[in-house]
Amino acid sequence: MEISEKIQTLRRELDRHNYNYYVLSAPTISDFEFDKLLKELQELEAAHPEHFDPNSPTQRIGSDINSSFKQVKHTYPMLSLANTYSEGEVTDFYERVRKGLNDDFELVCELKYDGTSISLTYENGELKQAVTRGDGEKGDDVTANVKTIRSIPLRLQGIDYPPLFEIRGEILMPWAVFDDLNKEREEQEEMLFANPRNAASGTLKLQNSAEVSRRRLDGYFYYLLGDKLPSDLHYNNLQAARSWGFKVSDAIKVCPTLKEVLDFINYWDVERKNLPVATDGIVIKVNSLTQQRNLGFTAKSPRWAIAYKFQAEKAVTRLNSVSYQVGRTGAITPVANLDPVQLSGTVVKRASLHNADIIRSLDLHIGDMVFVEKGGEIIPKITAVDKDARFMIGDKVEFIQKCPECGAQLMRFEGEAAHYCPNDNACPPQIKGKIEHFVSRKAMNIDGLGSETINLLYQNELLHNIADIYELKVSDLSRLERLGMKSAYNIRDGVEKSKQVPFERVVFALGIRFVGETTAKKLAMAFKTIENLEKATAEELVQVDEIGERIAQSVVAYFADERNIRVVERLKSYGLQLSVSEDKLVNKSDILAGKTIVISGTFSTHSRDEYKVIIEQNGGKNTGSVSAKTSFILAGENMGPEKLNKAEKLNVQIMNEEEFLKLIGG
């Protein structure tokens, strides 16, 4: 047998054994025999490097060479799912889908795995790229690490897979592996992982793929994307993926009725505790891909899918004290310090008390026995007090009146639950918090400036506000403890690179209270330059879509503060992007200014989401329901009958795709 043929035979044989062991859990040879075959292949490949293949089974062992991750833009955005916590909310979702489709439909129920999301791209049956979710628009390329996960096929089985497709799933650390890893870390006096999700996420981002391989991650897959999928039905596509070698859960069911959905939820709420991996809920999806497209998306999540989160576990423990944290916006968060208690797989020592009203309603006293649960199984919170267990309790918990950090008298805005420290330009946690927000990934994305480094620079009086970042010098940075010359140059390069960050992200980075990522984008596109935004009145601001009185007053107050104006002027002098770039102004118009438009049906030239963007680019406002204020309906094929009836009753104009494109000039 020729060398190349021998190598290919060994690769196919090892791929088959990997699949049998890690996906089917039905090995047909011993570990010793597997290792013997793998060693034979390693020796042949080493002797004949001309036959190297990046997807060879030998590549799963990983490398100890460090590598940094490059960011990759997702072909299809990885949106998060809307969460529900009750059967009533699941029923509401079912009714929304029924009304939105006005046709027969099926739902598919599947387990919601509690790991870290991953997107794999396969071309001609071979793994080409693995990308983390990141911010939903782009993520980190972790292909080398994913190749070490034995249950993920590097080369697909069969011949009926599309030439190019994307499959999404969850990278998990099984409970048994998690327990072993924490035991090992405990013996070495290293910090323990809080839960398998954190362990899986941290492992996937290690820059040593050999260590990733050692930690025995697993992967379950639940969604296919591409142009030439086997079926229009989500369930059928998953079964096809299973036949190609992917690990697809057996706990998937097509549910034609709401009752079957609720039965599935109730069954797995109990049975999930017997699974080898962590789950935190059920995902419910519309089965038909055509119907999924017709339902479309909101800004953050699909309308055709929802996540039902299991009810949180509860535990009882003792309240020892209450401390107070100051956030970057000055919001004061009370935190309960508790006797350690096991809850949902983690040890809980602290729980949020949210605000003064919550403390008052609970009637808390130091020494109380309190009920603790994890909201959505993530954030611990106190839900009640066991008053029958009170015995020699301490003082009643009263909310503080002054900032614990700077001593300023706290204030509370009308209609707000939280207390705030108003000393936003002199309170240390607020100053450092604003800087952390400014450099964060969704804002200016400056590498090297984490919370510890920012604290170090603040203590050494190198940072007093966000503008000081652009005055940092390599010579000043490199002399500081734990930094050094390499870190100093990395920070300098990150700072210079941030000067190209677009205007809308700079607006978000300023940290104006109540101005989130989406709001910042709307403000940037409405006012075009920082000068226009500075001069904007509250009346002008509320004219912008989704900008209410509270946000408008906050923006006005921000630019009324002379200290903020000085910071912005400094940012301007350093060359930051403080106006909308020319390319984003192309294709902008006011043709639809003042018009409220409803989109209904399916279209041939653009998708519904693309039409929403086009409407906004031309000054219009999108809305989901027909009312007397609706200017017209952009109607495609299969327009919803309810919208049609309401439009006729209210005498609302109906415009087809061709007429709409003609209106906006193409």
Q: Which residues are catalytic?
A: 112
How far is Cα 170 from Cα 391, in angstroms, rounded to an integer?
Answer: 47
What share of residues in the chain are helix, strand, coil (percent, to 5)?
40, 20, 40
> What CA dihedral angle connects 148, 149, 150 and 151, to 10 degrees?
-150
| Sign of the CA dihedral with 28 first, then 32, 33, and 35 last | positive
Q: Are 616 and 584 in contact (CB under 8 A)?
A: no
Bridge partners, 529 (sequence order): 579
DSSP state, residue 302: B
User: CA-CA distance, 197 to 209, in Å (whole number)?
Assistant: 18
Please state the length of the chain.
Answer: 666
Inter-residue contact 115 to 262 (CB < 8 Å): no
Give me the torsion for CA of 228, 235, 124, 604, rounded to 10°.
20
Give the pairing type, strands 252-255 and 83-84.
unpaired
Integer Cα distance of 9 and 30 in angstroms: 19
Cα separation, 287 vs 77, in Å, equals 20
DSSP code of 400? -
Query: In terms of DSSP bridges, do strands 71-73 and 138-140 run parallel, antiparallel, or are they unpaired?
Result: antiparallel
Q: Distance between CA 49 and CA 37 in Å, rounded?
A: 18
Question: Using an 8 Å Cβ cutoff, are 142 and 229 in contact?
Answer: no
